[in-house]
Structure 1
Amino acid sequence: MNKFLLLAGFTAMFSLPVLAADEGGLKTDEAPPPPHAMDKGYRGMEDAQGMTVAQAKAMHDGASVSLTGNLIKKTAQDRYQFRDKTGTLEVSIPLAIFDGRSVSPDQLVAINGTLDKKQQSAVMKVDHLQKQ
């Protein structure tokens, strides 16, 4: 009986701090930012901005690249010219990546893929395309 009371006392003593700790989870004491103040899900983070064509061209062969801009013209069977505010880049987009969607030069698209610098100029092999 004495051991039982001793065990119950230790259990109560060590479990009280656990019950008192109320940290973690969603804190609802602050309002979320308004939709017009958000930039792709990030708020106030300059280094979280998207990659540009100029930055992509400076990367190494095989680098993963994510860009947002416009497909401005078709240059070959599956080759297109992609442009953002910093320049243009040749991209290779197989027809299957379009998945039946059509894109016009005035529509903003986000593309993900890998950089191929083994050729004369850098070419991005696109794995994913999303209309914005």
Structure 2
Amino acid sequence: MLTNVAFTDPQGQTFTDAVVKARSVRRNRNWHGSENDSIYLESNDLFGEYQANSNRYEDDNLTISVDYYYWPTQTAYDEQRKPYMLSRNNTDDVFVSFEITENQLADEKYAGLSLEEIADLYFTDTVLPTLV
């Protein structure tokens, strides 16, 4: 959770002491691949030795998806008022999660952090600068 955050939300409302908290943080790893081995005889040498062939293909992709809530003030948070959901400025779909890509996660600043810590650091380093 981040406190005393100053930003302007996508609706143009400015806050000086907002509270920002990740509503959900999802780590998604997708992979697929194939592996095969075969032996065959050359068509021009049916009585010869078998030829061997092996193929392997793998694709691995990791992302972390984050949805952020924010309260306009610390008091609103402390009084457990309903929060607002932060939307991305660069999309028309307000319900799209923020995506932290595998390339971004490779940065050593994320090494050893919990999912919540990754979400908070991503917000301060990447999301916050994009808010007007």
Work out whether the TM-score is over 0.5.
no
More helix by share: 1
Larger Rg: 1
TM-score (norm 1): 0.29
Instruction: Choose between structure 1 and 2 for higher RCO, CA contacts under 8 A separated by at least 6 residues.
Output: 2
Greater fraction of residues in strand: 2
**What TM-score does the superposition give when structure 2 sets the normalisation length?**
0.29
